[in-house]
Structure 1
Amino acid sequence: MKEVKHVVTAEEQGTRLDKWLVDQTEDVSRSQIQAWIRDEYVEVNGKIEKSNYKCLEGDEIHWSIPEAEPMEISPENIPLHIVYEDVDVIVVNKPRGMVVHPSAGHETGTLVHALLYHCHDLSGINGVMRPGIVHRIDKDTSGLLMVAKNDKAHTSLADQLAEKTIDRKYMAIVHGEINHEFGTIEAPIARDPKDRQKMAVVEGGKDATTHFKVLKVYRDYTYVECVLETGRTHQIRVHMKYINHPLAGDPKYGPRKSLEIDGQALHAGHLAFTHPTTKERMAFDQEPPQEFLTCLDEIEKRT
């Protein structure tokens, strides 16, 4: 991890944050810089700012960037559960344990490797490491994910995400008994200042809103449906921990003693969007995997 700090000079005042960073780095594209800012590797005076932030004299800018390692992406014959496919989009049901795109420590076996074997035409907007990937779900989160097969489709789907017109619903098993039917969590999320490997509710972080509905209350656990209004990293996991109802099995944000499940009990069960070409509203639903359902059976027996 490369960490750099710099103080903005009088001559640099008024420069956009992303442009300023381009000027400070070598052989790094503006789109990559914007990805760093979006992924919250960049702080201005200890706070997260957007790419279009205008730098002020005296601003202390700190960025910590993982060292880039050359990586070749080759297609891999990995089975995929394809829920829907046409010339523009693919909707897949990602299994638990599969990483969406290559990164340090996950050079093979990702969803991208499988997609490249299945489909040679994927959008190139997100570069060689993330072809077709419009949005992500965590490694141990299962469920529905949309993939763009061309740049036109990618732009349309990304715009829908930004405009909050894509519906995403998640099923989750959380610790504790929630005694009300609905809830909304509005709390800004940023990298945890005490642990850069985690996200947390942090003043000055990016706005984040999660709505939830209680599906069933068990002894010591609650089965909930979460609806994302924003799509921050680990949003549901961080927000549910914030209200003292962390996800069962979550190794990063949950308690050590939990249900016997490998990773957080979280499933992306519903996805709806407007088709980039036909403009038809499309909706998909997928049941949680067996491991998730087994956990529900186990806590049902205890109740």
Structure 2
Amino acid sequence: MGDLRSLPVPDGLEGERLDAALARLFGFSRTRAAELIASGDVLVDGSTPAKSDRVRGGAWLDVTIPPPPAAPMPVAEPVPGMTILYEDDDIVVVNKPIGVAAHPSVGWTGPTVIGGLLGAGHRVSTSGAAERQGIVHRLDANTTGAMVVAKSERAYTALKRAFKERTVDKRYHALVQGHMDPLRGTVDAPIDRHPSGDGRWAVVAGGKDSITHYDTIEAFRAASLLDIKLETGRTHQIRVHMSALRHPCVGDLQYGADPTLAARLGVTRQWLHAVSLAFDHPATGEWVSFTTDYPADLAEALDRADDS
């Protein structure tokens, strides 16, 4: 059973296409709005409309929003290439390989960190949604590096708070196109879903506050290696902010990277690695820090950038 929303069309949307008006009223993508119209979940003054119909101010909308599909449960099976950097009774820190999501989600059928830990016999916290138990932060499926998972309930609570209060030191290295000017700086620009509804995120007025600090480690002919500290942890934050500066991560074709440069450096995903993670241990209060080496594909690309 869906969620029925009924309301008049605001006068300010007079003359808009119906799919565009729905997108603005409910925060959908245009694609999602069109799907609801096509499935008969939208009525205008009691009649079934077409997505291209123009709306009239004061017309009555009845929109049934289907419940979101349930996320799949994790499949407990070892994940090749995922190594344990540290483990005790409260936390486990992994070096996440390429092509592994943090937890199951709708539309993702590949391996997950949670499934890999369970498959290797590790216990994780039971706090959080069933499909993402123990997950206190995430890395994109194709972003590699250090990631902590809570094993105890106290660790889950403490780490969730630490990430929310921004007391965790998250460091990334990114190989981006071109040369930064200035060589070091801060990007403070809000992020929300891209208006296209295609799964990307973007700098959007009114989005969630997002702050990225960067410093150039080394400049090559066509690219620069950056040390990046995240103050916030939005989805795709580094990728979005670098793209907004017109210096996308090398290989990040989703966010405007040059495919020719990616091919020359042998990169088939964004050059982005979570190089270190540091925080107050949830049990002892001691400041602990974990670092990771570049995986083979990123190290090879960096060598090629240095030679070119």
TM over 0.5: yes
- Larger displacement relative to structure 2 (179-188 or 117-126): 117-126
Match of 2:188 in 1: 186
What is the CA-CA distance between 1:117 and the residue it aligns to? 1.8
Could you tell me which of 261, 276, 282 is aligned with 2:267? 261
SS, match of residue 131 in structure 2: coil
Distance in 2 between the 1:169 and 1:179 partners?
21
User: Do the aligned partners of residues 179 and 218 (structure 1) sit closer, same or farther apart at CA in structure 2, a change above 3 Å counting?
Assistant: farther
What is the CA-CA distance between 1:125 and the residue it aligns to? 2.1
SS, match of residue 241 in structure 2: helix
> TM-score of the superposition, structure 2-length normalised?
0.76
SS, match of residue 185 in structure 1: strand
Structure 2 counterpart of 1:254, one-letter code: G
Whether the 8 Å contact between 1:249 and 1:264 is mirrored in structure 2 is yes
* 1:25-77 Cα distance to aligned partner (Å, 9 max, x none): xxxxxxxxxxxxxxxxx987759xxxxxxxxxxxx9x9978841473433113
What is the CA-CA distance between 1:295 and the residue it aligns to? 0.8
What is the CA-CA distance between 1:122 and the residue it aligns to? 1.3
Distance in 1 between the 2:188 and 2:261 partners?
26
Structure 1 counterpart of 2:295, one-letter code: P
User: Do the aligned partners of residues 72 and 234 (structure 1) sit closer, same or farther apart at CA in structure 2, a change above 3 Å counting?
Assistant: closer
Q: Which residues of structure 2 form unaligned runs of 5+?
A: 9-22, 29-60
1:25-44 → structure 2 map (5 Å cutoff):
none
Could you tell me which of 98, 119, 124 is aligned with 2:126? 124
Percent identity over the alignment is: 38
Match of 2:106 in 1: 104
State the number of aligned residues: 255
> TM-score of the superposition, structure 1-length normalised?
0.77
Distance in 2 between the 1:208 and 1:258 partners?
28
Match of 2:291 in 1: 285
Distance in 1 between the 2:75 and 2:219 partners?
45
Distance in 2 between the 1:63 and 1:82 partners?
46
Match of 2:86 in 1: 84
Distance in 1 between the 2:174 and 2:210 partners?
18
- Larger displacement relative to structure 2 (180-189 or 96-105): 96-105
Distance in 1 between the 2:6 and 2:196 partners?
21
Match of 2:142 in 1: 140
Whether the 8 Å contact between 1:240 and 1:246 is mirrored in structure 2 is yes
* 1:272 is aligned to 2:278: yes
Whether the 8 Å contact between 2:212 and 2:230 is mirrored in structure 1 is yes
What is the CA-CA distance between 1:128 and the residue it aligns to? 1.6
Match of 1:52 in 2: none
* 1:208 is aligned to 2:210: yes
User: Do the aligned partners of residues 81 and 301 (structure 1) sit closer, same or farther apart at CA in structure 2, a change above 3 Å counting?
Assistant: same
The structure with the largest helix share of the pair is 2
Distance in 2 between the 1:66 and 1:101 partners?
21
User: Do the aligned partners of residues 3 and 137 (structure 1) sit closer, same or farther apart at CA in structure 2, a change above 3 Å counting?
Assistant: farther
